[in-house]
Structure 1
Amino acid sequence: MDGTTLLRAVEHSAGFLERHLDGDWRRPGEQVEMSAAQLVAHMANCLLWYGVDFCAGPRELATNTVSVDDGAEPVELLRALRAAGRVLAAVVDAADPGDRGWHPAGIGDASGFAGMGCDEVVVHTHDAAQALGVDFEGPADVAHAVLGRMFPWAPAGGDRWQVLLWANGRAVLGARPRLTSWRWHVAPLAEWDGTRP
Structure 2
Amino acid sequence: MTVTPDDLIAAADLCRETLAPAVDADWTAPAADIGQTCRETIDHVVSCQTFYASHLASRAPGPLPRLRKHDPDAPVEQVLDLVPAGAAVLAAVARGSGPDVRAFHPAGMADPEGFLAMGCDEIIVHTGDIAAGLGVAFAPPDDLCARIVTRLFPWAPSDADPWPTLRWANGRAPLGDRARLDPDWYWQCAPLAEWDGQVNRRINPAAWSP
- Regarding TM over 0.5, the answer is yes
Determine which of 94, 97, 100 is the counterpart of 1:95: 97
Matched, 1:128 2:137: no
Q: Distance in 2 between the 1:127 and 1:154 partners?
A: 20
Structure 2 contact 94–112 (Cα < 8 Å) conserved: yes
Matched, 1:24 2:26: yes
Name the residue aligned to 2:69: 67
Structure 2 contact 49–86 (Cα < 8 Å) conserved: yes
Which amino acid letter does the alignment assign opposite residue 193 of structure 1?
A: D
Structure 1 contact 37–71 (Cα < 8 Å) conserved: no
Change in Cα spacing, 1:60 to 1:171, as seen in structure 2 (3 Å) is same
Determine which of 183, 187, 193 is the counterpart of 2:186: 183
Q: Which ranges of structure 1 fall in alignment gaps of 5 or more residues? A: none
**Alignment TM-score, normalising by the size of structure 2:** 0.89
Comparing 20-29 and 158-167, the one that deviates more: 20-29
State the 1:195 CA deviation: 2.2
State the 1:33 CA deviation: 2.3
State the 1:70 CA deviation: 3.8
Structure 1 contact 7–85 (Cα < 8 Å) conserved: yes
Structure 1 contact 58–107 (Cα < 8 Å) conserved: no
| Percentage identity across paired residues of the two chains | 38
What pairs with 1:1-197 in structure 2 (closer than 5 Å)? 1-180=3-182, 181-197=184-200
What secondary structure, in the 3-state scheme, does the structure 2 residue paired with 1:107 have? strand
Q: How many residues matched?
A: 197
Q: Distance in 2 between the 1:119 and 1:9 partners?
A: 9
Which amino acid letter does the alignment assign opposite residue 92 of structure 2?
A: A
Structure 1 contact 44–68 (Cα < 8 Å) conserved: no
Q: Distance in 1 between the 2:124 and 2:193 partners?
A: 25
Q: Distance in 1 between the 2:72 and 2:118 partners?
A: 21
Structure 1 contact 9–139 (Cα < 8 Å) conserved: no
State the 1:137 CA deviation: 2.1
Change in Cα spacing, 1:9 to 1:92, as seen in structure 2 (3 Å) is same
State the 1:64 CA deviation: 4.5
CA offsets, 1:15-46, max 9 Å, x none?
A: 10012222111222341122222111110000
CA offsets, 1:52-85, max 9 Å, x none?
A: 0112225114345422324311110111111101
Q: Distance in 2 between the 1:143 and 1:70 partners?
A: 30
Q: Distance in 2 between the 1:70 and 1:121 partners?
A: 20
Structure 1 contact 144–160 (Cα < 8 Å) conserved: yes
